[in-house]
Amino acid sequence: MQALKRVVYEVDGWGVGELWLEDGVVVWHELPRPKSHVPQPGFNQVADVVTRYFAGEDVPLNDVPVDLEYETPFLERCAIELRKIPRGEVVTYGELAALAGAPGAARAAGSFCARNRLGLFVPCHRVVAANGLGSYGSHGVAYKRRLLELEGAV
């Protein structure tokens, strides 16, 4: 087993983000934010894919292996189903719960999205409230809207 590896990447117009990988599997992802001090990024294949995503390329983020072992079976199904939602499309929290086999568990699906630690790889920004955009944790609704615009979502 390899040691945990931290990879820092910078994206023009978005800021600096971080990936944590173990044996090539993403275990944590911090979306880019503006920073006053920018560490020197190094090359990493996953960071390269993320950088290309933020440049507007339609790259397959659902192909990147992620660590879902920490989740309950229902929340793991939420993550698996969410990774199938195509770029530029959205589902509601209720639809995500139904896709994961638990219709009526919209609140649980929302709680999952609120604490998602895998950023773009489990794209919770593609989950919206039945009556609007919904929240996006500490990044805020404007960041969620920006990601959806980048993907061409209406």
Instruction: List alpha helices for the chain, DSSP H.
Output: 45-54, 73-82, 93-99, 106-114, 140-150
Confidence of residue 151 (pLDDT cuts 50, 70, 90): very high
Active centre residues (catalytic):
124
Q: Where are the domains of the chain?
A: 5-63, 73-150
Confidence of residue 123 (pLDDT cuts 50, 70, 90): very high
Q: Do 137 and 110 meet the contact criterion of CB atoms below 8 Å apart?
A: no
Tokens of 110: 């929302």
CATH topology for the 73-150 domain: Arc Repressor Mutant, subunit A (1.10.10)
- Taking only the tens place, the pLDDT of each residue in 40-87 is 556 678 888 999 999 999 999 998 999 988 889 999 999 999 999 999
Q: What is the pLDDT of residue 35?
A: 74
Q: What is the pLDDT of residue 127?
A: 96
Could you give the CA distance from residue 97 to residue 146 in angstroms, rounded to a whole number? 24
Q: Is 120 exposed, middle or buried (0-12, 13-18, 19+ CB in 10 A)?
A: buried
DSSP for 56-88, written as a single string: T----GGGS-B--TTS-HHHHHHHHHHTTSPTT
- Summarize the confidence of residues 123-149 as an average pLDDT: 90
- Taking only the tens place, the pLDDT of each residue in 78-102 is 999 999 999 999 999 999 999 999 9
